Amino acid sequence: MVSRKPVTILMAVRDTPAAMLRQAIDSIRRQTLQDWEFVILDDGSEQRETCAELERQAAADSRIRLERGPARGLTPTLNLGLALAGGDLIARQDGDDWSEPNRLECQMEFLREHPHTGFCGTNVWTHQQNGRPLWATRLPESAVAVHEALRRGNPFVHGSTMFRSAAARALGGYREQFSCAQDYDFFWRLSDVYGGANLPEPLYHYRYTAGAVSARRAAEQARSHRAAQVLAEARRRGMEDVADAWALAESEAQSGLGLLRAALRQIDHRMLAGDIGAAGRAYVQVLAAHPASRLALGKLLRWAVFSVAPPAREWCFR
């Protein structure tokens, strides 16, 4: 271990725009809690502005530890960060988001007051890609509510979480079979053993970014999401097998419904990022491919309300 700081902030970066990086890192440097180390892992960035901003930030603050390496992918990069972290607590931070000044202090205080809870997230303020505010989330807060919500989906915003490093390592970190939805599986396993919660205050700012909507990415998300659910059910029976879970998730993903839902979630993300026109066209394409789908029709109708009635946008997602 390199540091004895109580908190390690862990951030993985690949070609994040410099302005977003600066906002994310500055939000940590301005925390009311100042006793921390910041491990930033550059996962093979090729953009000159990203590399230059990372070097500038590391030179400006001795608490920042920059680790440059080849592209490994997010999951193995996060596991490398877990191995390097010296803090008893690990706080995640994403390079395109930012934190409220009292975020780390509030989370550390909560975990000290709840010594048997393994981790906590927070509610978050959501934003379009350009930073324009949307609304605050209403995530489940208590350990019981969180555990119930996990059956339906991930009730945590990954970048907002703080967890005990010993608990994360005891579980083996993030499962590297998951190239996406690794946080869903990780937090479910943490919740099963240690319990987790969300603070009611929105202490983190989550930025929707307009990624590509592709069949490959949708299929990957569908498989990963379903595999996490299969593994959770297997844990309850005391017979978890990762290979079997992936085989079942793979077969179910080919059925079409999981793939459809994943594709529609991706389009939702694009709409919330502010790429409304492209999202509308994508919804139409999905509905044309699945004309009997009430889900696809409902998403298109929601897009219409979202487009023409900005005051109703938050209502559309409640």
Q: What are residue 204's phi and psi, to 5 degrees?
A: -140, 150
Q: Give me the pLDDT at residue 214, please.
A: 54
Confidence category of residue 249, pLDDT binned at 50, 70, 90: confident
Q: Domain segments of the chain: what residues?
A: 7-198, 215-316
Sign of CA dihedral 290, 298, 220, 129: positive
The three-state secondary structure class of 162 is strand
Q: What is the pLDDT of residues 291-313, one digit of tens each?
A: 999 999 999 999 999 999 999 99
CA-angle at 83, arms to 80 and 86, nearest 5°: 130
Q: How many residues are recorded in the chain? A: 318
Residues 6-33: what's their mean pLDDT?
Answer: 97
Which among 88, 113, 91 has a CA at the least distance from the CA of 102? 91
Q: Give me the pLDDT at residue 65, please.
A: 97
Average pLDDT, the chain: 93
Bigger pLDDT: 117 vs 262: 117
Confidence category of residue 223, pLDDT binned at 50, 70, 90: confident
Q: What is the pLDDT of residues 40-82, one digit of tens each?
A: 999 999 999 999 999 999 999 999 999 999 999 999 999 999 9
Cβ partners under 8 Å of residue 291, min gap 6: none
Which among 248, 230, 247 has a CA at the least distance from the CA of 239? 230
Q: Give me the pLDDT at residue 277, please.
A: 95
- The conformational region for residue 195 under phi > 0 = left, psi -120 to 50 = alpha, else beta, is left
CA distances from 264 to 150, 172, 292, 296 (A): 20, 32, 15, 7
Consecutive H or E run containing 98: strand 98-99
Q: Give me the pLDDT at residue 215, please.
A: 56
The answer, yes or no, to whether residue 1 has pLDDT greater than 50, is no
Confidence category of residue 258, pLDDT binned at 50, 70, 90: confident
The answer, yes or no, to whether residue 281 has pLDDT greater than 90, is yes
CA-angle at 90, arms to 106 and 19, nearest 5°: 80
* Exposure string over 185-208, b if 16+ CB within 10 A, otherwise e: bbbbbbbbebbbbbbeebbbbbbb
The answer, yes or no, to whether residue 254 has pLDDT greater than 80, is no
Residues 10-15: what's their mean pLDDT?
Answer: 97
Q: Does residue 119 contact residue 158 with C-beta atoms inside 8 Å?
A: no
In words, the CATH class of domain 7-198 is alpha beta
| DSSP-based helix, strand, coil % in the chain, nearest 5 | 50, 15, 30
Lowest mean pLDDT among 19-33, 155-169, 237-251, 267-281: 237-251
Dist. CA 210–CA 267, nearest whole Å: 9
Q: Give me the pLDDT at residue 237, please.
A: 87
Cβ partners under 8 Å of residue 314, min gap 6: 134, 135
Q: Does residue 191 contact residue 146 with C-beta atoms inside 8 Å?
A: yes
Q: Give me the pLDDT at residue 255, please.
A: 64
Residues 119-141: what's their mean pLDDT?
Answer: 97
Which among 198, 72, 216, 218 has a CA at the least distance from the CA of 144? 198
